[in-house]
Amino acid sequence: GAGVSQSPSNKVTEKGKDVELRCDPISGHTALYWYRQSLGQGLEFLIYFQGNSAPDKSGLPSDRFSAERTGGSVSTLTIQRTQQEDSAVYLCASSLLAVLGEQFFGPGTRLTVL
Amino acid sequence: QKEVEQDPGPLSVPEGAIVSLNCTYSNSAFQYFMWYRQYSRKGPELLMYTYSSGNKEDGRFTAQVDKSSKYISLFIRDSQPSDSATYLCASNNAGNMLTFGGGTRLMVKP
């Protein structure tokens, strides 16, 4: 079956521009997570959506980062006024039910800020 | 100190060897323990998923969790060159985000 999909796979942008990254979770999965993977920092949690509950934004590194999830399915991570330190691979994961724990990851979006 | 610690390697073994990968964690609230395999420029792929202490076997892979010592292990039997990848351990409390170790890079030489 279809897994988690993310687009674009690669994004190159100039410092100061805004970017939007998209995640399509596995159909029927109610929980959706965004992580960031960078050299030296490993995999870091950013934000988590569970059903219609308020998202857990505790991992967002600054107010330049935001995310939304429309209709309980597709999610968009937006980074405003990108900085070079935002360069990383942004990974999305989904889970059938958050309480089950296991999360399935998409291929990621590689963001390069010049 | 990070909540999940993992030796970065690289770990180099000959084909057919038994591989032992390990993590330690500090958060007593962690209940779920996972191992992910990540190939270069790909997303993490869930390999093993266990709840609480005990062993779980799936083919050539065995995951062990010892909550008393906060120790997580993954064993790979009859290792193959295709097992060459970075292995990430991860833990969470139900419903929460995963906390990852830094990953161990494994190389299996033919």
For the stretch B23-59, pLDDT in tens is: 999 999 898 899 999 999 899 999 998 888 889 999 9
Strands B11-14 and A31-38: unpaired
- Interchain proximity B94–A91, CB inside 8 Å: no
Peptide bond preceding B81 in cis form (omega within 30 of 0): no
Identify any residues that bridge with B48 across adjacent strands, giving them in sequence order. B35
By CB atoms closer than 10 A (0-12, 13-18, 19+), residue A98 is: buried
- Take residue B95 and report the two structure tokens written for it: 């419903």
- Interchain proximity A4–B43, CB inside 8 Å: yes
pLDDT at B108 (0 to 100): 97
Strands A42-50 and A31-38: antiparallel
- Interchain proximity B94–A103, CB inside 8 Å: no
End-to-end CA distance of chain B: 37
pLDDT at A82 (0 to 100): 98
- Interchain proximity A48–B97, CB inside 8 Å: yes
Judged by DSSP in three states, B92 sits in: strand
The predicted model gives B8-18 an average pLDDT of 95
The model's pLDDT over A51-82, given as tens digits with 9 standing for 90+, comes to: 888 899 999 999 999 999 988 799 999 999 99
Chain A residues inside the 8 Å CB shell of B32: 101-102
Distance of CA B4 to the CA centre of its chain: 11
pLDDT at A107 (0 to 100): 96
- Take residue B3 and report the two structure tokens written for it: 């909540």
- Which of A42, A99, A104 is facing B94, going by the closest CB pair? A99
pLDDT at B1 (0 to 100): 73
d(CA A22, CA B36): 22
- Take residue B98 and report the two structure tokens written for it: 């995963």
pLDDT at A64 (0 to 100): 98
pLDDT at A97 (0 to 100): 74
The model's pLDDT over B57-68, given as tens digits with 9 standing for 90+, comes to: 999 999 999 999
Short-list A64, A46, A47, CA closest to A55: A47
d(CA A33, CA B96): 9
Which regions of chain A are under pLDDT 50? none
End-to-end CA distance of chain A: 37
The model's pLDDT over B73-99, given as tens digits with 9 standing for 90+, comes to: 999 999 999 999 999 999 987 667 889
Mean pLDDT for chain B overall: 93
The answer to whether the CB of A11 falls within 8 A of the CB of A110 is: yes
pLDDT at A13 (0 to 100): 98
Among residues of chain B, what percentage have pLDDT more than 90?
Answer: 78
pLDDT at A1 (0 to 100): 56
Which residue of chain A is at minimal alpha-carbon distance from B32? A101
Peptide bond preceding B14 in cis form (omega within 30 of 0): no
Chain B residues inside the 8 Å CB shell of A55: none
Place of tokens 């990848």: B85
pLDDT at A42 (0 to 100): 85
